[in-house]
Amino acid sequence: MTEKRSAQELVQFLRGRGISTRELADTLQRDPRMVRKILNGETSGALYGPALEELADTGRVTHIPNRRRGKSGELVRVRAKADAKQKSVTPRDPGGVYTDAPQGGRMQVSTTFMAEGGRQIEVRIPKGQQAKGRAAADAELVRQIRNAAKGQSHTNQKKISATLTFANGRVMQINEYNASTMLQRVKEAGGGTTEWMRGESKNRYLNLDVSKEQITGVTLTVYADPKTMQYETFKAAGRPRIPRELTKSEIQRQAEKARLEEQRRRRGGRRPR
């Protein structure tokens, strides 16, 4: 059995392959100082071991190491660049799955047909926020969701799972929906499919800044699923929102909102001096 290599040994091995310290740092989305610390034995670098092992074995990294978090779940601040105004900054947590496929380009749609009426629709979306292709992509996604909703029968419903790709290459899934319910949620959000999906993604991850990263790809997987008594009850009730367990992101936002409201309440209750 091959003995597991330390992070330092892996960095030495990769440097021997001609990969520079800067290239390793960029691949791990860290500062070159961290790579040098690992190389010099100043830190174990255990957090980066799996990513370095993957890079050594396959030549690429698909799972970027998560950033450290404090006891309350917040990202630990890191030292800023030498010319920065602040001494420390809150980093972007790159944890998650990424693709190195180029993002952007003109709007494109491709469909893969599967068994029992299932299909996978891939929509490629331009990066530019004002690009005409983005509006066309929104309209195409609504059309595909509506078609899935129309394709439901007396015995089978159509469900849709959506995988999003962002401009920075990050790939993530949002909640699975019945086709009619997804269509209703999009309409409630004003008819913009990607904007609704942006909101859904915000509920899933604390570390995804959806205000800066555009959605550049959506893959809809549509498949048939037998209707159940719960489905019929849900339909008869007008597809109300089902209470669900809050995500870590939502819990943190609610706690922050409550804290700010409490601060305002206390300030409002103070006697004038």
Mean pLDDT of 167-190: 88
For the cut 70, the answer to whether the pLDDT of residue 67 exceeds it is no
Query: What is the pLDDT, as a whole number, of residue 107?
Result: 94
Query: What is the pLDDT, as a whole number, of residue 256?
Result: 78
Higher-scoring residue by pLDDT: 179, 241: 179
Residues 72-95 pLDDT 10s = 555 566 666 666 666 666 555 555
Q: What is the DSSP letter of 69?
A: B
Q: How far apart are CA 24 and CA 11, in angstroms?
A: 8
Query: What is the pLDDT, as a whole number, of residue 215?
Result: 93
Q: From the CA atom positions of the chain, what is the Rg in Å? A: 23
Which tokens in the block code for residue 137?
């992509």
What length is written for the chain? 273
Q: How far apart are CA 186 and CA 180, in angstroms?
A: 10
Q: Percent of the chain having pLDDT more than 90?
A: 29
Query: What is the pLDDT, as a whole number, of residue 217?
Result: 95
For the cut 90, the answer to whether the pLDDT of residue 130 exceeds it is no
Provide the β-strand partners of residue 97: 63, 171
Which tokens in the block code for residue 106?
């003109």
**Helix, strand, or coil here: 186?**
helix
Q: Which helix (H) or strand (E) holds 220?
A: strand 215-226
Mean pLDDT of 130-148: 92
Residues 183-215 pLDDT 10s = 999 999 888 899 899 888 876 665 556 677 889
For the cut 60, the answer to whether the pLDDT of residue 112 exceeds it is yes
Query: What is the pLDDT, as a whole number, of residue 1?
Result: 47
Backbone phi and psi for residue 245, each to the nearest 5 degrees, phi listed first: -70, 130
Q: How far apart are CA 196 and CA 202, in angstroms?
A: 10
Cα dihedral: 199, 202, 208, 210 (round 10)? 20
Which tokens in the block code for residue 30?
């860290």
Residues 228-268 pLDDT 10s = 777 677 677 776 665 556 556 567 767 777 888 888 888 77
**Helix, strand, or coil here: 173?**
strand
8 Å CB contact between 8 and 45: yes
Entry pTM: 0.56
Query: What is the pLDDT, as a whole number, of residue 135?
Result: 92
Q: How far apart are CA 75 and CA 54, in angstroms?
A: 25
8 Å CB contact between 166 and 216: yes
Backbone phi and psi for residue 108, each to the nearest 5 degrees, phi listed first: -135, 150
Q: How far apart are CA 27 and CA 173, in angstroms?
A: 23
For the cut 60, the answer to whether the pLDDT of residue 271 exceeds it is no
8 Å CB contact between 174 and 200: yes
Q: How far apart are CA 151 and CA 222, in angstroms?
A: 10
